[in-house]
Amino acid sequence: MSKFHLGKLEKPSAERAAEKSEPLPLKHVAVIMDGNRRWAENHRMPKLKGHQEGVKSLKRLVRHVGALKLEFLTVYAFSSENWQRSSEEVKYLFELFSQVLESEFVELSQNNVRLSFIGHMDGVPKALRRSMEETTKQSEANTGLNLQVAINYGSRLEITEAVKKIALEVKEGRLSAQDITEDLIARNLYTSRLPDPELLIRTGGEMRLSNYLLWQSAYTEIFVTQTLWPDFTPECFDQAIDEFKRRNRRWGGD
Q: What does the domain layout of the chain look like in residue ranges?
A: 6-246
Res 136 pLDDT > 50: yes
Res 5 pLDDT > 80: no
List the catalytic residue out of 82, 142, 188, 211: 82
What is each CA distance from 5 to 8, 140, 172, in whole angstroms?
A: 10, 35, 47
| pLDDT confidence band for 13 (50 / 70 / 90) | very low
Number of H helices, E strands in the chain: 8, 7
Task: Please count the other Cβ atoms lying within 10 Å of the Cβ belonging to residue 179.
Answer: 11
At residue 250, the pLDDT reads 81
For all residues of the chain together, what is the average pLDDT?
Answer: 91
pLDDT digits (tens, 9 = 90+) for 94-124: 999 999 998 999 899 999 999 999 999 988 9
Mean pLDDT, rounded, for 201-216? 97
Res 56 pLDDT > 50: yes
Please, what sign has the CA dihedral across residues 113, 50, 220, 245?
Answer: positive
CA 73, CA 34: separation in Å to the nearest integer?
Answer: 16
At residue 252, the pLDDT reads 74
Res 29 pLDDT > 50: yes
CA 185, CA 160: separation in Å to the nearest integer?
Answer: 10
User: Which pTM value belongs to this model?
Assistant: 0.89
At residue 46, the pLDDT reads 93
| pLDDT confidence band for 253 (50 / 70 / 90) | low
At residue 15, the pLDDT reads 41
* Complete edge-to-edge strand list for the sheet that includes strand 199-202: 6-7, 221-225, 199-202, 28-32, 72-79, 146-153, 114-118
User: Is 152 an annotated catalytic residue?
Assistant: no
Q: What is the secondary structure of 189-217 as a DSSP string?
A: STTTTSPPPSEEEE-SS--S-TTSSTTTT
Q: Which of 13-22, 68-77, 135-144, 180-189 has the lowest mean pLDDT?
A: 13-22
User: Is 196 an annotated catalytic residue?
Assistant: no
Residue 108 makes CB contacts below 8 A (sequence gap 6+) with 62, 115, 139, 147
Tell the CATH topology of 6-246: Undecaprenyl pyrophosphate synthetase (3.40.1180)
